[in-house]
Each structure stands twice: as structure tokens, then as C-alpha cells.
Amino acid sequence: MTGPRIRPRRLRATPAWRRLHRETRPEASRLVLPMFIAEGASEARPIASMPGVVQHSTDSFRAALHRAAEAGIGGVMLFGVPEHKDALGSGATDPQGILNVATRIAISEVGDQLVVQTDLCLDEFTDHGHCGVLDARGTVDNDASLERYRDMALVQAEAGSHLLGLSGMMDGQVAALRDGLDAAGRADVALLAYSAKYASAFYGPFRDAVQSSLQGDRRSYQLDPANRREGAREVDLDVAEGADVVMVKPAMTYLDVLADAAAVSPVPVWAYQVSGEYAMIEAAAAHGWIDRERAIDESLTSIVRAGADAVLTYAAVEAAERWKDA
Ligand code: PBG
């Protein structure tokens, strides 16, 4: 009797074999925690559609920053939730605006331990909820938005941000901000381009998190979920414009785009496991339908396996703490 000569099961037989044979090792240092800071909040406020995630007060924010640094994650990505919104998103360029205040806090508390990153986009600050400013016809005006982004970049750099997260999906935004920063003597500030950012249903809970009521949709500037080649093209353009890091977003529904980018990009490629991806896991786990921790770990492993050098995820700190004990 001869059985199969080749038996892949040999290397799966024991925990010791599986540990030795593992191809992908997600590490705490690869994780980035997105955080929300609400102007005027006296204490942390839960976000209903994102269990375990809060809009921070400045006090709870400080405590969470130290916990994140202690857990050994790589960085934090900050989002501001302003009390007042207007058509131009004025709060974004106000040095006393909540995001800039939060950035100064993060730099002073953990700036030597974590890469402090800031969302550079107007949607948290505009009353219409779009990522840019609108023209007379109500269309998002690309070049006028670039002007606002340039001002925003200088204010964020001044607040101390290490890495600006360009999530607006305007054409030419990387080049415009690189030029603006360099001309202002801020060649030290790095740019993370949300290059392949898709017009996704999975951003739903984020709108609750930043209390944004979007008028219309973002399909005239974010990518069509059907397009793979266009994702690769956006990555190429952003690299050519001087991006230090490129990103694919969301993560789990775009692993092909991520793998494409990882195969060719000369700069690091990150992925963003967005609010809806996190909420889906939480919701299924709350019903007892999946094992929450295994699902989180499997999802993060799959994103790293597909080629992500780092992952933005709302589960960053708990995953890092869990992996430490493993
Ligand atoms: C734009 C921005 C969005 C997210 C991050 N940056 C919202 C959007 O583009 O609609 C979504 C993140 C998430 O869903 O977790 N500032």
C-alpha cells in the first residue's frame, strides 16, 4: 500500500511545527490606531455602531495614547470631531481647531514613541460632509480643495504631525502638499497618500463617529469598487508625486488591489481596515456567530499576507496587547 508521497500535513502536525512554519507574522509595530477626539467633550462618548471605540475627551485621549504606546503599536491616526461645521471646513485650518489641539497633545504625550498621524481631509469639518469645498453648482471643486488642503497641511505640520494622511482623493493632492510643505521649510513632514480609496459602503459607521451627514455621495472622487487597474494607476501617480507611503482602503474587500500595489510599489504600502469592517466583526461576534478574537486576528493576518506593511485598525491596541501575551 502506498499513500501520497507528498504530505503537507507534516508541517501542520503540532503547535511547534505551525509556529515554525508560519509565513506571515502580524506584529504590534505594524498596527496604527485611528482615534477620534471631540471638541468640548467632558468625557469619552461611545460610538454606537463601533463597539469599544469612542469619541475622546482630552483626558480620555491622553490615557488612551499612553495605553497605545505601552502596547507597542506603531502609531496613531487622529480625526477631529468639531463642534461647529461650515461650508469651507474652517475648523480644519484653525490652529485652535480640535484636530490641531489633539495633535499637540499627542506629540507632547507620546510623540517620541509613536508616529503621530493626522487625517488631512475636510469632511469632518464641512457642513455638507464632502472631502473638499463645493463650487457654485455643488460639485466638489478639485483645485479649490487643494488650496484648503495646503493650508491644512501647514497648520498640521505646525502642530507637530509626523505624517499627514491625505484621504480626500483630489487629483494632484500629493504634489500640491509636498510643494506647499517644502516651500514652507517643512520637508521633514511625511505624506501618506490614500491612493486607492474606494467609494465604499464600509465607511458607514465612520460617519457616526465624526457626526457627518453627507449630502449625496463620494463617487465623483473616490474609486469605483469595480476597478482594479485604476487602483494601481492611482498608486503610480501618488508615488510619482512624492508620496512617502501609499494606502489601499478599505482592506478586506480590496486585497487584490493591495497585492498589486505591494508587488510594484517602491514605497511602503499600508491598508486601512475601516469602520464597517470592524463593525461587521463586532456585530457577528455579539450574536455569537463568530469568535471575535480569532476573526480579528485572521482579518489582520490576511491583510498583512496580501502585502500590507502596516494596517490601520480600530482593534490595534487590543490585538497588540493580546499578541504580547501569546
Ligand atoms: C475621510 C475619511 C473617511 C474615512 C477615513 N477618512 C470617510 C470617507 O471617505 O467617507 C473612513 C474610515 C473608516 O470608515 O473607518 N476623511
Going by alpha carbons, the residue nearest to atom 2 of ligand 1 is: 167
Write the DSSP string, 55-72.
EEPHHHHHHHHHHHHHHT
Q: Is the CB of 28 under 6 A from ligand 1?
A: no
pTM for the predicted model, two decimal places: 0.97
pLDDT tens across the length of the chain (326 residues): 789 999 999 999 999 999 999 999 889 999 999 999 999 999 999 999 999 999 999 999 999 999 999 999 999 999 999 999 999 999 999 999 999 999 999 999 999 999 999 999 999 999 999 999 999 999 999 999 999 999 999 999 999 999 999 999 999 999 999 999 999 999 999 999 999 999 999 999 998 899 888 889 999 999 999 999 999 999 999 999 999 999 999 999 999 999 999 999 999 999 999 999 999 999 999 999 999 999 999 999 999 999 999 999 999 999 999 998 66
- The pLDDT, as a whole number, for residue 326 is 67
- The pLDDT, as a whole number, for residue 213 is 81
Report how far residue 146's alpha carbon sits from residue 174's, in angstroms, rounded to the nearest whole number.
9
Going by alpha carbons, the residue nearest to atom 7 of ligand 1 is: 203
CB 24 within 8 A of CB 305: yes
**What is the predicted ipTM?**
0.95
- The pLDDT, as a whole number, for residue 257 is 98
Assign a CATH topology to domain 26-246. Answer: TIM Barrel (3.20.20)
Q: Is the CB of 206 under 6 A from ligand 1?
A: yes
Going by alpha carbons, the residue nearest to atom 8 of ligand 1 is: 203
Cβ-count burial of 30 within 10 angstroms (0-12 exposed, 13-18 middle, 19+ buried)?
Answer: buried
Report how far residue 152's alpha carbon sits from residue 166's, in angstroms, rounded to the nearest whole number.
11
Structural domain boundaries in the chain: 26-246
CB within 8 Å of 71: residues ≥ 6 apart: 28, 316, 317, 320, 321, 324
Kindly give the number of the ligand 1 atom that is closest to the alpha carbon of 202.
14
Catalytic annotation present for 324: no
Catalytic residue among 249, 271, 276, 304: 249
Q: Is the CB of 274 under 6 A from ligand 1?
A: yes
Question: Rounded to the nearest 10 degrees, how much is the dihedral formed by the CA atoms of 61, 65, 68, 70?
Answer: -130
- The pLDDT, as a whole number, for residue 215 is 86
Task: Kindly give the distance from the C-alpha atom of residue 11 to the centroid of ligand 1, in angstroms, as a whole number.
Answer: 41
Mean pLDDT of the chain: 97
Kindly give the number of the ligand 1 atom that is closest to the alpha carbon of 275.
15
Going by alpha carbons, the residue nearest to atom 12 of ligand 1 is: 274
Q: Is the CB of 121 under 6 A from ligand 1?
A: yes
Q: Is the CB of 194 under 6 A from ligand 1?
A: no
Task: Kindly give the distance from the C-alpha atom of residue 22 to the centroid of ligand 1, in angstroms, as a whole number.
Answer: 33
Catalytic residue among 85, 148, 197, 218: 197
